[in-house]
Amino acid sequence: MRLTVTLKRAYDPPGRGDAPRVLVDRVWPRGVSKERLKAVAWLKELGPSTGLRKWFGHDPVRWQTFRARYRRELAAKGALLEELAGYARQGKLTLVFGARDPLHNQAVVIKEMLERERGRTRRARPVRGKTR
């Protein structure tokens, strides 16, 4: 089954097409209630470390370095990524984040990691067919 991951700001209202919504920020979005967020889970441990988050400061100039450092952090959190993927119903998942910038935030990196891992899993299956 193909995993489809969408990204949505915590400040945007949930939509009908939203898949199970999981908040992936270390810090709860200011001014947003649990009822308004409508998330099935908050996996704050998946958010970037406090030091990395503060260093990045959502500065697009630091984006490539942030991505590389954050991927290293995520590589040590395989069980949490598996837990996150487990929330996907019918292959769909919505990652919720609080950042203003929809292109430069941790949810983008998490989505890349999930899609890359899903691709590896698919390719690793044995090929069925004729054998020699």
- Sketch the domain layout of the chain as residue ranges: 17-122
Interaxial angle between packed helices 106-124 and 78-86, expressed in degrees from 0 to 180 and rounded to the nearest 10: 90
Q: Are 44 and 26 in contact (CB under 8 A)?
A: yes
Q: Are 96 and 39 in contact (CB under 8 A)?
A: yes
pLDDT in tens, 49-92: 999 999 999 999 999 999 999 999 999 999 999 999 999 878 89
Alpha-carbon radius of gyration of the chain: 16
**Residue 58: per-residue pLDDT:** 93
The reported pTM is 0.86
**Residue 131: per-residue pLDDT:** 43
Contacts of 53 (CB under 8 A, 6+ apart): 26, 47, 106
Please, is 42 exposed, middle or buried when counting C-beta atoms within 10 Å of its C-beta (0-12, 13-18, 19+)? Answer: middle
Strand ranges of the sheet holding 4-9, from the earlier edge strand across to the other edge: 4-9, 92-97, 21-23, 41-42
Measured between its terminal Cα atoms, the distance across the chain in Å is 29
